[in-house]
Each structure stands twice: as C-alpha cells, then as structure tokens.
Amino acid sequence: MGRAGIDAALRLALDESGRTADSGDVPVGAVVLDAAGEVVGTGHNGREAVGDPTAHAEILALRAAARRRGAWRLSGCTLAVTLEPCTMCAGALVQARVDRLVYGARDSKAGAAGSLWDVVRDPRLNHRPEVVPPDLVAPELADRCGAVLSEFFSVRRIR
C-alpha cells in the first residue's frame, strides 16, 4: 500500500470517527482494508453507547473484518485508526495477524505503538505488523486526527 492508499485509509477512519457525535464517545474511528484496498471492517468508539469497555474502534473494526472474511486471521490487511492503539487494541491487532497499522495521532498517555509502549513491535511476540505513524502520513491528515480529539476534550473540560 503506497502513500496514497495509506492516506485514503486514514481519511476513511476520520469519517468513521464522526459517527460518535451523538454518543459521548471519544471520536476515534478505524477501518480494516484487505490487500486489494477494499474496506472489510469499520468501527468507531462505542464504550458509552453500548456500555462495553472493549468497544474501542479498533476492536469493533477487527471483529467486523473477521466476520466478513469468515476467519479471525486478518493476514494481508491494514488497520487504519485515527488514534494510536492502546495495549488492548495493539494486542488484538497482533493476535489477528494484521500486516500493517496506520494511525493518525499519537497517544502519549496510553499509546502502545511506540509512544508509551510498543506492543506491536515487541520482538518477543510471534507477529509484528508494519507501523505507519503520524509522521509518515499526510501532515494535514495527522493534524486533523489530533484536532478532532482536541476539540472533543476541550468541550468536555469547559463543562
């Protein structure tokens, strides 16, 4: 997947993040694309909406992709997400054998793809996806991913 495909995937994840608007969930969106670039799963944060602590965008997108493909092994797939995955989500994408992770904003408080931890590249694990961090995506996309989150939290802090 070239730069154009990576950026297109992150745009789709940004679109998906907007689906949290009425739920009170943190606006994080994720998409899973197969090797041909076809979307096979989408997800957006739903912890508040469904009362499930595991309803992170990445988990929901991985579940949808596995259902659609009829298999838990997502080899050949790319997971694009607007925010760096946490340890739970990083572990899930490793277990799903996702080939590539693309993310738009770093998470210095809970990121597990290089910011706080680096679960996805831990040499002790049996699978390590390629990681495409924010500095390798179009700057305007990385900036937008961060801005969506900043806007969400700035409104919450005022109240």
Active site residues: 58
Q: Is 89 labelled a binding residue?
A: yes
Q: Is 77 labelled a binding residue?
A: no
Dihedral over Cα of 101, 137, 20, 26: its sign:
positive
Contact (Cβ atoms closer than 8 angstroms) between residue 64 and residue 72: no
d(CA 26, CA 135): 22
Within a 10 A sphere around the Cβ of 20, how many other Cβ atoms? Answer: 22
DSSP H helices, the chain, are 3-17, 47-50, 57-69, 87-95, 139-158
What residues are designated binding site for Zn(2+)?
Answer: 56, 86, 89
Q: Which residues are annotated as a binding site?
A: 56, 86, 89
